[in-house]
Structure 1
């Protein structure tokens, strides 16, 4: 009876251990990919660096492509947790729009991934390479741009932004500014890149605001 209960506990605990192992593999893989790209990921490398068997890695992911897709999915989840969810706690309209930009800059500056924004670096690696990985990256980018555009429309509906502003154009400009800061900070070691980007974002939003509309709060 005791042996049966112990075996039952082992079976019950196995999924939890498996989830923790999978999460550890994905975290390490995301860090590598943010610095070296997804092409830097191999089953053999991860097995060696994490001291797990290749068969165990195949049991979790099945193939190199499935591993890469899982890494992209995990990176998107982390981006949502670091950038999107905190921004959703901010009032809709202009304050939320500024929060999306500020939280994106903070996520890059804090080096949530050692290579800056994972989706920026891996997106550049796959932007001209058709396939499932590119499709997953493109879908996450479209979702992000759609969130920008919807937030801009909300600000227009609330009377905070000029109704003549093209949401798609403004979203493009804001996204370009945060990505430029990420690139300058990494490639040029520009410690002021994030401040410059935030100043440019606030100036752009001030210029698009309806006269007399309350200004969004100062950066936290």
Structure 2
């Protein structure tokens, strides 16, 4: 399928390519993903991918940008509808479960940013910078949510919201590993138990 000949239009065709790129990168790794590999996976010519993406690095950066969009769509936008405090933190947990577990029409499941932190932690360059930026935005969102919970008096007495955000990030990363590496059938229950302990519920 050539994106230039797609009946969906160039924007939708590009999104389709990126969504497939996310799925392939979750299996092969972001560093291993190339225009040639993705073109072969999608039964396309390399020329059809070089047109919109120009280089392997541009493709990788575009895929990370798409992952950020998916996190916003699946996790953050639904969470924003919940009132600040425990309800928002629970909604955030529910969104993370949806995102990591996968949604057939939108997301294959698993967090590419979490995987890429291990691939790029000792490297330098624009892709690593994008990985760091994405993870810092995620951490900042967690800090904001826990501080809001503290402001409305919905954290346990003496709880440090910044420390709670740090521990939530660890729980969410561990959940990703439990689901996709260990295939733990109790992963969801264990995540909720950990979140409940932190929130004092």
TM-score range, shorter chain: 0.7 to 0.9
2:57 is the alignment partner of 1:65: yes
Output the TM-score relative to the length of structure 1: 0.81
**Deviation for aligned residue 1:31:** 0.2
Equivalent residue number for residue 179 of structure 2: 185
Work out which of the two has the higher radius of gyration on C-alpha atoms and give 1 or 2: 1
Equivalent in 137, 143, 151 of residue 131 of structure 2: 137
Equivalent residue number for residue 22 of structure 2: 30
- Rounded to whole Å, the distance in 1 between the matches of 2:169 and 2:124 is 23
- Rounded to whole Å, the distance in 1 between the matches of 2:188 and 2:121 is 25
- Rounded to whole Å, the distance in 1 between the matches of 2:119 and 2:93 is 23
Matches within 5 A, 1:114-153: 114=108, 116-153=110-147
Q: 1:156·1:163 contact (CA, 8 Å) conserved in 2?
A: no
Output the TM-score relative to the length of structure 2: 0.88
2:69 is the alignment partner of 1:77: yes
Consecutive unaligned residues of structure 2, counting only runs of 5 or more, are none
**Deviation for aligned residue 1:119:** 1.6
SS in 2 for 1:58: helix
Equivalent residue number for residue 52 of structure 1: 44
Q: 1:149·1:171 contact (CA, 8 Å) conserved in 2?
A: yes
SS in 2 for 1:39: coil
Q: Could you list the per-position Cα deviations for residues 170-203 of structure 1 after superposition, in whole angstroms to 9, with x for gaps in the alignment? A: 1010111121122122222211112111111112
- Rounded to whole Å, the distance in 1 between the matches of 2:178 and 2:190 is 10
Of 149-158 and 103-112, more deviation after overlay is shown by: 103-112
The alpha-carbon distance between structure 1 residues 16 and 190, as it changes in their structure 2 partners (threshold 3 A), is: closer
Equivalent residue number for residue 98 of structure 1: 90
Q: 2:100·2:110 contact (CA, 8 Å) conserved in 1?
A: yes
- Rounded to whole Å, the distance in 1 between the matches of 2:109 and 2:95 is 17
Q: What is the alpha-carbon root mean square deviation over aligned residues?
A: 2.2
- Rounded to whole Å, the distance in 1 between the matches of 2:41 and 2:173 is 31
Q: Could you list the per-position Cα deviations for residues 51-72 of structure 1 after superposition, in whole angstroms to 9, with x for gaps in the alignment? A: 3332221110111101100000
SS in 2 for 1:83: helix
**Deviation for aligned residue 1:115:** 5.7
The alpha-carbon distance between structure 1 residues 14 and 179, as it changes in their structure 2 partners (threshold 3 A), is: closer
Q: 1:182·1:194 contact (CA, 8 Å) conserved in 2?
A: no
Matches within 5 A, 1:160-171: 160-162=154-156, 164-171=158-165
Task: Give the number of the structure whose residues are more often helix, by fraction.
Answer: 1
- Rounded to whole Å, the distance in 1 between the matches of 2:146 and 2:43 is 47
- Rounded to whole Å, the distance in 1 between the matches of 2:42 and 2:12 is 13
